[in-house]
Every structure is written in C-alpha cells, then in structure tokens.
Amino acid sequence: FIKVKMSRRPSSRYSEMPMRVTDSRMSLINATPQNKDNVFGKLNIPKPHSTTSERRTSFFGKGIGAGGQRNSMFGAYGGSEKMKDPRPLHDKAFVQQCIKQLCEFLSERGFPGSITVKTLQSPSTKEFLKIYEFIYTFLEPSFQMPTSKVEEEIPRMLKDLGYPFALSKSSMYSIGAPHTWPQALGALIWLIDTVKVTFQTFNRIEFCQLTLFMEYCSDTYNKFMQGADTFEDEDEEYLNKLTGKRTEKLRLQADLQKLQNYRCTLEAHKTGLENKAAGLAEELEAAEIQLDGLKQERTRLQHILENQKFTPADIERINRERNELQQTIQSLSQSLEEAEQLVWNEEVNLSKTKEKAELKVAEYNKLGRKLKLIPQSAENACGHDFEIRTDYSATTITQYKTQIQNPLKNMMVDVEDEYSRLTNVKLSLEETVEQVKSNILDKENDIKHLKEQIRRVDQQLEHDMQVQCISIRISDFKPAKNISA
C-alpha cells in the first residue's frame, strides 16, 4: 500500500478525496441490471461488473428450469404443513397498497413494458408471467420462463424459495379473477421482499469498506483543519483496518466456498439417501401388502380354528409351520441387515472411487495443458474441447466419448502415421548417411593410395635427381683431369 500524505493545498485535497469516494461507490452492488435506484434508497449507483451475477448465482445455487429442481437457501423454511396467510389480501385498501408497491418496483427497475396501477387491477395471465419472470431474474439472472406446464412450475418455484403459503394450480388459469389475483399479488410482493433482502446481504461488505474510508477521511480532515500536514498514524491505522477487513473477507469467502462444497456433497448424499429411501419405501409398501395378506390369512385361519375342531396332529403341524415361519422371518431380517450393510459399504467405495476419479481427471487436465490440448483455444487442440469436468451423469459420459475419446483416437492415429512416416524418413536418411560414410571411406582410401603413389614418385624423382647430379659432377671432373694432363 502507498501512504497518502495530505497537505494544506486545497487542490491536492479536493482532487484526492472525491476520487476515493467514487471508487468506493463503484464497488457497491446495484440492485438492478437497468441501472435504476437502489432497493434501499434513491442512490443512483452505476451498473456492477459481471461478478455480481456470479455472486447471485452462487448465493442461490443452481438455476431452475422447465422441469428442474431448484436448490435454494430459502427452501428450508418451506414445509408440507399448510399455513393460513395472515395478510388481509381481501381488503381492498391493502390490495391497492400492494399494487402501488408492485408498480413502483417495476417502474424503478425498468420493466420492459407499459405497466400502470389500472392494468394491475386485473392483469392477464401473459402479463403476470412477464412480471414474474422479470422479478425472478434478480434472483437468477439466467432464468427463463418455461414454455409448458407454467401452472405447475410457478407454485413449485415459490415453494422451493420458501414461500410459506400455497398457490393453487387452478388459480394460474384465471390469474386476473377477483378471487385469485390477491393471492398471486401477495406472492409477487413476497418475491420483491426476497429480492430486497438478498441485495441487502450483498451490499453489506462493500458498505463496511465505504464506512471505514469515510471515518478515515473524517479523522484526517479534522486534524488537517487543526493544522496537521501529515497523517502517518491515521494512514497506518486505516491501512491496518482495511487489510484486516480484506483478510476477513477472503477468509469468509473461503469459508463460504467450503460450505458450498459441503452443501453439494450433502445434496449428493441426500440424493443417494432419497433414492435409497424410495427403494425402501417400495419394499415397505410390498411388505405392507404382504402383511395385509398375512393378516387376512391369519383371520381366515383364526375363523377356521374357532369353527372346527383340531386333532393333536393338526396342532403339532401348525406349531411346526409357525416355527418354520419364525425362522424364515429371522433369516430374512438377517439378510436385510446384510443387504443394508452391503449398500453402505458400496456407498463408501463409491465415494472413494469418486475421489480417485477426480484425482485422475485433475491429472489428465494437467497433462492436457502441458501437451497444449487444453483449453479449446490451445495450440494442439484443433478446436476440440478436451477438458473433463466432474460430472457423473450418463449423458455426460456419452458426450465425453464423442467429444474427447474419438478426437483423441483420431489424433493418436494421425500421430502414429506421422511417426511411421518420420521413422521411414529417418531410416532412409540413416541409409543415405551410411552410404555417404562408405563413399567417404572409399575416397579416403583412394586419397591414401594416391598419397602413397605421390610419395613414391617423389622418392623416385629425388633419386633420379641425385643420380643426375652425380653424373654431372663426374662429367665435369673428367674434362678437368684431361686439361691438367
């Protein structure tokens, strides 16, 4: 961090403080993508970056589609017990107040349509669906209204969000009727309150940072007015507090990520338990049917027992059959316990297998990045997406076979062909090199022979020259001898 030193010059003071305030205001989360007023006041705050949408998405979990199940933090408040709505929805004054509140919310948030208090007195089903979709996008930006079975999806989505009152399926067919519109209006008002509470939670951290900065500005300005020129102590205190807040924010974000991962694990475990419970429920239903049949059989046998006389042999036979049935029940109970233990062991093994698979997938993705196959825009990816994500659905596995396995096989075939071609080229070059080496060796031998011949010729030439010199000397010596004589 760089410490800020303030002086008496007005230009530097007024040029630094507004910039810092503006930067802090830019970090606040807006309540609407249309850049309207905040849900808690008339502050005209600029539109946030895309991180807000990511926060909102991670806050509410997975989205909800035309036939999907929505996971929400508000779902824990929704129970199977029907509650009576304490709001006076049949009071005209209260209904008009709700209509006014809904109209103001839609106007402030830039609803793409013409909405007035008059049109909201008895809206059509199409208008209601548009309003519902517009409000719901503040909770889930990627949400789109289903095209079929809307009368079933909307009550279910409200129930998943934790709406405590029932909205009947039949009321969706005539949403603007006097006996159904107040209940639907109450649901919309509750949805608006949910949006406001949600964004109040998101704005809390950024507001804390802004408050800290404003306290720093107030303290330093007071000391500046008292004649101080530097504020090193205040700067250090502010930076320490800010660092602490940011560290706490990172820690809380890490804790939130851990909780979300743990929630996903619990949801997967919950799904497994629900499937197991469904299987046990079917077995229980079959056992109850069998029990009813046995009760009827017992009643019939009891009636026969009461209306006829048994011989000692019959009584002995019945007791023997009863003992056999008790042994059969004990054996079946033991088998059931063993089956439950086996299911538990299989679940543990499945969890371990998933962990190993995730490690293998991480190793594969790391190797793919090293080989420049991942991401899709990598050098060797050729436009294919070779990255594997931890999704264990059957459709995803089939998609991976067509999306990853087949292109990799084709790439391996191409690499093997290229390797074979390069191997052949290498062998051909090696043969050429051997041939060149052999030619060089032959040439070296020829050169060696030629050098030997040259050496012999030089020796012979030297010998001839010596002989010639001796002959010349002898010839010169003879005339001199004749002269002296």
Per-residue pLDDT tens digits for 320-346: 999 999 999 999 999 999 999 999 999
| Rounded Cα gap, residues 170 and 180, in angstroms | 9
| Rounded Cα gap, residues 385 and 374, in angstroms | 7
Given this model, what pLDDT does residue 20 score? 33
- Amino acid in the structure at residue 433: V
Given this model, what pLDDT does residue 202 score? 52
Q: Give the mean model confidence (pLDDT) for residues 373-380.
A: 77
Given this model, what pLDDT does residue 214 score? 80
| Rounded Cα gap, residues 291 and 329, in angstroms | 12
Fold (topology level) of 10-230: Actin-binding Protein, T-fimbrin; domain 1 (1.10.418)
Longest dimension (CA), the chain: 186
User: At CA 107, angle to CA 102 and CA 108, rounded to 5?
Assistant: 100
Domain boundaries, the chain: 10-230, 309-385
Specify the DSSP class assigned to residue 68. Answer: P
Given this model, what pLDDT does residue 379 score? 76
User: What is the Cα 467 distance to its own chain's centre?
Assistant: 103
Q: Which residues contact 243 (CB under 8 A, 6 or more apart)?
A: 1
Instruction: Give the residue with greater pLDDT, 103 vs 84.
Output: 103
Instruction: Give the residue with greater pLDDT, 3 vs 251.
Output: 251
Given this model, what pLDDT does residue 372 score? 80
Given this model, what pLDDT does residue 77 score? 40
Burial per residue of 38-51, b for 16 or more beta-carbon CB atoms within 10 angstroms, e otherwise:
bbeeeeebeebeee
Q: State yes or no: pLDDT of 485 exceeds 50.
A: yes
Tokens 């509650």 belong to residue: 83
Lowest mean pLDDT of 106-120, 148-162, 400-414, 447-461, name the range: 400-414
Q: State yes or no: pLDDT of 404 exceeds 80.
A: no
Q: Give the mean model confidence (pLDDT) for residues 437-457.
A: 92
| Rounded Cα gap, residues 337 and 343, in angstroms | 10
3-state secondary structure of 112: coil
3-state secondary structure of 398: helix
| Rounded Cα gap, residues 213 and 187, in angstroms | 40
- Give yes or no for a contact between 330 and 322, defined as CB atoms under 8 angstroms apart: no
Q: Render pLDDT for 152-187 as a digit per residue (tens, 0 to 9).
A: 888 888 888 888 888 887 877 888 788 888 888 888
Q: Give the mean model confidence (pLDDT) for residues 34-55.
A: 34
Q: Which residues contact 475 (CB under 8 A, 6 or more apart)?
A: none
Q: Give the mean model confidence (pLDDT) for residues 229-256.
A: 88
Percentages of the chain per state (helix, strand, coil), in multiples of 5 = 70, 0, 30
Is omega for the bond preceding 48 within 30 degrees of 0, making it cis? no
Q: What is the DSSP string of 170-237?
A: GGGTTTTSTTTHHHHHHHHHHHHHHHHHHHHHHHHHHHHHHHHHHHHHHHHHHHHHTT----HHHHHH
Q: Please give the backbone phi and psi of residue 164, each rounded to the nearest 5 degrees, phi first.
A: -80, -5
Q: Give the mean model confidence (pLDDT) for residues 268-287.
A: 92
Task: Write the burial class of residue 468 (CB in 10 Å: 0-12 exposed, 13-18 middle, 19+ buried).
Answer: exposed
Question: By C-alpha distance, which of 45, 29, 24, 30 is closest to 215?
Answer: 24
Whole-model pTM over 0.85? no
Tokens 């010169």 belong to residue: 476
Q: State yes or no: pLDDT of 56 exceeds 90.
A: no
